[in-house]
Structure 1
Amino acid sequence: MRARRVIAAASVAALGVLSLAACGKSAPDVAAYVGDRSYSLDRVNGIYDEVQAKYGDAVRQEAGQASATPSPEQLRAPVTRQDVVNLLVSLELGKRLAAAKNLQVPDEVTPQQLEQSLRVPATTEYAKLWAEWVDLLQVFNQQLPPAEVSDESVMAVYQALVKAEAIEGGLPVADVRQKFGEGAFVGSATALSAALEEEANRVDVSINPRYREVGVPSLVSTGQSVIFYSLPYINEEGPVTDISSPDAASPSASPDAEGTAS
């Protein structure tokens, strides 16, 4: 993607998120609270484990047809538990925002349409949740007026793409703007950020500290392929604080140990 312009198929948002402890929501077995809804660590683990199991089975089957033996790395899907949390939280906020704005969200995108680009079997819950999320993103991109494309917003999206290894790093903002073309997708991303931030503040969002670097799942089309990435809106320097749980402080609980970055 060194010389190509980036064309957005969906965008990303930055949200104001409070810590579990700050809101009195500190159950160590809960990954996230969104208003009156909670998402347990068991739910996150279940979605993640299903992706890894079905992906591994698919790779083994394909490798068997070629009489090859896949490596452990090849058997791991490019999905982390952090990705699962990002998707669950963003989807819930998106649904609430659509309802508040009386937006009709058609059921158009199927998991099968995303399977090849997402690199996740269409039969998994993760793929099904992604299909719902893309339906929402398409509506928001059509209904929310785009915001001004600032250097800060351009570089935020750029750094997220660098992290996803989708574009070369170390570029100045002028070069990034040239690669992004008119940057319309950054304007859409900024508008969605503002809308979701308002919704997050309204319903009260709390995140388990083990998932400090929370981001909104996003995808961008280069015209030849689709890139999935995530733009963090809270990290180790953000307002989250640890909760009293041995698991939360354990290195093994960190999503960083789960393979490919989001």
Structure 2
Amino acid sequence: MRARRLLAAASVAALAVLPVAGCGRSAPDVAAYVGDTSYSIDRVNAIRDEAAQAYAGVVKSAEEQGQQVPAERRQLDLDGQDVVNLLVGLDLGKRIVAAKQLQTADEISPADIGQALNVPDTEYARLAAEWYDVFAALGKGLPKAELSDADRTAVYAALVKANVAPAGWSVDDQRKAFADPTIAPQLSAVVGLSEALKDEVERQDVRVNPRYASLAVPALLQLRTISLYDLPYVDGADQVTDVSTPEPEATDPAETDASTGPATT
């Protein structure tokens, strides 16, 4: 599988985040707590900013070579929420892999991911490559889920938001589309992973700073290409409390479509 076909679309599926009164873990400079690990807002912003700078360099190089880059693709579509989703999802996934003694394989390199997303030599590329390997291991090692209409609808909503599926499908349309033998096993694996992550959130007492209003995991589903979208995996994640509501942080817009980036070859 070519790296440039790996990530074709992205979106954020928002989740309600439930406040927890009296939480002892509430430092205002922390983006998220996962078990005994914390992720600072400074690190989230640094990952986002480094990726945006690398992407801007690719755009500049493409234009210097005479390529026309549409206005909507001149900035990387990545914000702090996407980075928090990746950091927390990867942390939880690695804990599940260790607990279940699953084997991960080095299936794709940070260099390939970086090239595919036009963010070469960045921490974001390294994290995305690591997540791909963990995601693949969990997909093979976890039980497949029996799909409910609610499961199909959650995935369908994420795919519509990612511009991967058209809007307007009825529940019956969703059942028929997701019964496709090339898609159904992947969908069952993704929903099984979602359930495992939900359980791990509870075990690890995950807390998220209220400036990040949702928590979703990057999920992969192969349709005509392999697409990345964010799928909710908990009904709500606990906020870091006692933090004053911040001004909205500046964002360099979420993961770009690798097939439409400015300098794929």
- Shorter-normalised TM range: 0.7 to 0.9
Q: Which amino acid aligns with 1:220?
A: L
Q: 1:202 to 1:14 in 2, by over 3 A?
A: farther
Q: Which residue of 2 aligns with 1:66?
A: 66
Q: Give the alignment of 1:49-88 within 5 angstroms.
A: 49-66=49-66, 73-88=72-87
1:167 is paired with a residue whose SS is: coil
Alpha-carbon distance between aligned partners in 2 of 1:137 and 1:261, rounded to the nearest angstrom: 17
The reply to whether residue 249 of structure 1 matches residue 243 of structure 2 is: no
- Where structure 2 has 5 or more consecutive residues not aligned to the other structure, the ranges are 1-12, 257-265
Residue 190 (structure 1) shift: 2.0
Residue 21 (structure 1) shift: 5.0
Q: 1:188 to 1:215 in 2, by over 3 A?
A: same
Q: Which residue of 2 aligns with 1:210?
A: 211
The 8 Å contact of residues 16 and 213 in structure 2, kept in 1 or not, is answered as: no
Q: Which amino acid aligns with 2:86?
A: L
The total of aligned residue pairs comes to 241
Cα deviations by residue, 1:107-157 (Å, 9 ceiling, x for unpaired): 23212333454x232311111101111111111111112110111101100
2:108 is paired with a residue whose SS is: coil
What percentage of residue pairs aligned between the two structures are identical? 43
Of the structure 1 ranges 173-182 and 211-220, higher mean CA displacement relative to structure 2 is found in: 173-182
The reply to whether residue 103 of structure 1 matches residue 97 of structure 2 is: no
Residue 95 (structure 1) shift: 0.8
Residue 37 (structure 1) shift: 0.3
Cα deviations by residue, 1:202-236 (Å, 9 ceiling, x for unpaired): 1211111111121101122223x33221123468x
Alpha-carbon distance between aligned partners in 1 of 2:228 and 2:85, rounded to the nearest angstrom: 13
Alpha-carbon distance between aligned partners in 1 of 2:89 and 2:174, rounded to the nearest angstrom: 27
Q: Give the alignment of 1:109-188 within 5 angstroms.
A: 109-115=108-114, 117=116, 119-180=117-178, 181-182=180-181, 183-188=184-189
Residue 14 (structure 1) shift: 11
- Where structure 1 has 5 or more consecutive residues not aligned to the other structure, the ranges are 1-12
The 8 Å contact of residues 51 and 124 in structure 1, kept in 2 or not, is answered as: yes
The 8 Å contact of residues 18 and 204 in structure 1, kept in 2 or not, is answered as: no
After superposition, the CA RMSD in angstroms is: 2.9
The 8 Å contact of residues 78 and 255 in structure 2, kept in 1 or not, is answered as: yes
Alpha-carbon distance between aligned partners in 1 of 2:118 and 2:51, rounded to the nearest angstrom: 7
The 8 Å contact of residues 27 and 240 in structure 2, kept in 1 or not, is answered as: no
Cα deviations by residue, 1:83-106 (Å, 9 ceiling, x for unpaired): 100000010111111111112222
The 8 Å contact of residues 16 and 237 in structure 2, kept in 1 or not, is answered as: no
Alpha-carbon distance between aligned partners in 2 of 1:63 and 1:21, rounded to the nearest angstrom: 51
1:210 is paired with a residue whose SS is: coil
1:228 is paired with a residue whose SS is: strand
